[in-house]
Amino acid sequence: MSTHSQTPHAFLVVRASSSSPPLIVDLACYSLPYGALGFISHLLTYYTIVCLCAGRRPLWPFRKIKASKLDIILGSISLCVTTTMAIVTLVRCRHSWQLITIGIWKLGMSWFNTLSGLTTGIIALREEEKKRKKEDEEKTGRAEKKQEDRGQDVNDADDEQALAGDIGIETRPVPASSATTAPIAPKSQQQPRLLGRVRDTLMERSPYSRSIYWGILYICCMIVGLVGLISLLAKHWSMARRPLIAVTVTFSVMILVILGGYELFIERITPKEVAHERIKAREEAIEDEDPGGMALALTVVGALYCDWTLGIMAGNLAGLPSKDNSGFYWTYFLFKRLTMFSS
């Protein structure tokens, strides 16, 4: 007769029956999306962030975002609710430091999403205010001042022509721009760093791209979460070797694909006169290396890889919540999507 002792910890190593997938990690305390549902959630989050940074409506990307206080309200609600629910999950998983670090990772993703929505809404209101002020100034003070200056210039030019005609000297009016504007200095021969060119290109295309800077916060949280995920994989790799190897190889290929796409993007925005210098610098392996491609690849692939590996180790590839956690789970899932309704 054998007895089985149970621990109160939420992080367990057990085996299910042969008719069900192996349960390596018990995620009863972990109520955030993972597995296939987590994969879909992160894809929607990435799509939303890209649309917001481009100043486009996530539900209808063919239209630009308009100034609306509703976007700020939605972003604020999403930020408060998802942050609170993520903190509750962290407290419930306090017996497993690995799950705590992964929860911090997902909290960082939630912050990236909701703060991008807030920032985009604020930028939209500021851009609308700037446009309104500019129109008002043109209709009032600036328009009148320009008309007065132009009238004064015409009178001065007429007086000069009349005086020149009296003394028999032919004069030509000098444009004001040539008299007051200094010659444009040539551009510096030193080109800006590669990441600076990427930033400038994005900023020229959309002022909303400032939202991407919240990705720095997410990367910090991702680094914390990777420590916990690597610990879990190292501890339980032998229990699900084949599926974990398959997932790892698949996402390694995805990293290479993203790096290749990033290089193509950089080539398109890099001036031709700089391209040769960039290739030469790469061959000489100078210090000015560009970490942007690897950061982008890890940012995109890392969370997706975490979803599938957690699903494998929990024996729940779909990532479906239990009946006890379903209400909590779907509330978090839906409130995280509020930024998709930015208008």
Q: Is residue 13 part of a domain?
A: no
Q: Is residue 111 part of a domain?
A: yes
Q: In the predicted model, what is the mean pLDDT of the chain?
A: 76
d(CA 235, CA 98): 11
288 pLDDT band (50/70/90 cuts)?
very low
Cα–Cα nearest to 93, from 182, 205, 10, 215: 10
Q: Is residue 5 part of a domain?
A: no
Q: Is residue 205 part of a domain?
A: yes
Q: Is residue 25 part of a domain?
A: no
d(CA 58, CA 54): 10
Give the count of domains, the chain: 1
Place of tokens 């799509």: 47
Task: Give the contacts of 106 (CB within 8 A, at least 6 positions apart).
Answer: 32, 33, 86, 225, 303
Q: Is residue 319 part of a domain?
A: yes
Pairing type for strands 60-64 and 56-57 reads: antiparallel
Per-residue pLDDT of 228-242, as tens digits, reads: 999 999 988 888 888
Model confidence at 119: pLDDT above 70 = yes
Q: Is residue 45 part of a domain?
A: yes
Core vs surface per residue 297-310: b (16+ CB within 10 A) or e:
bbbbbbbbbbbbbb
- Please give the residue range of the domain that contains residue 309: 35-174+193-341
Least confident of 9-23, 50-64, 242-256: 9-23
